[in-house]
Structure 1
Amino acid sequence: MKKREFNPTESLQAKKDLKKKEQELELIEGKILELEEKKKNLEAQMADSEVYEDSEKLSHINQDYNKLKENEAKLNTDWETLVEEIGQLQETIS
């Protein structure tokens, strides 16, 4: 396999891109933690016997919970993509 020649311009751009991706990753991680906290809160509400006996309230909480799970799944996919991109940029820089 042929080794690529060092390109200072490409390396500088990769460093900028890496910093941007790392910031995006940090934001996504914060959002994931926030969603996990909201899910715990909703799970606690669903376990409450008063809520459990109120079918309308339980239905609304279940809808909110399912939306959070969908958002969390998307954020996890975005997180995985960013981790891969960061790894590629780190290889480019080194």
Structure 2
Amino acid sequence: MFVPVFAAATAYFAVWAAGSGPGDSPGPGPLTTIAEVCGVLALFVVVDLVVVVRRLRRVTRHRLDHTSGGPVILLPPLCAPRDGRVPM
């Protein structure tokens, strides 16, 4: 959701910085800085999204039937069954 927002903001501020002159307010320096910050945030959001997707795929790929002795997903203490396994 935030990737398009930060990518669009990066492009918007970069184009604005390229079109502004030295006497304009705000000048090209602050606009370039804002474009760079938005670009870094967009990159951070993309990396975060990739990590989350990889973790979700790994969990679903390794999820086994609860009777096969597969991995155990721990639940909060108030919700966990006595044997600690998630019922499927």
TM-score by length of 2: 0.60
1:89 and 2:59 matched: yes
The one-letter code of the counterpart of 2:28 is: L
Matches within 5 A, 1:73-84: 73-84=43-54
- The aligned counterpart of 1:54 is 23
- What is the rounded CA distance, in whole Å, between the counterparts of 2:47 and 2:12 in structure 1? 23
Number of residues paired by the alignment? Answer: 63
Note the 1:1-94 alignment, pairs <5 A: 30-48=1-19, 51-54=20-23, 57-93=27-63
**1:93 deviation in Å?**
4.0
- Flag the structure with larger Rg: 2
Hey, which of these two has a bigger chunk of helix by percent?
A: 1
User: Which consecutive segments of 4 or more residues in structure 1 shift more than 3 A?
Assistant: 52-56
Gaps of 5+ in 2: 65-88
Flag the 1:58–1:92 CA change in 2: closer, same or farther, 3 A: same
Q: Which has the higher contact order (CA 8 A, sep 6+)?
A: 1
- The amino acid that maps onto 1:83 is V
CA RMSD of aligned residues (A): 2.0
Deviation at 1:53, TM superposition (A): 3.5
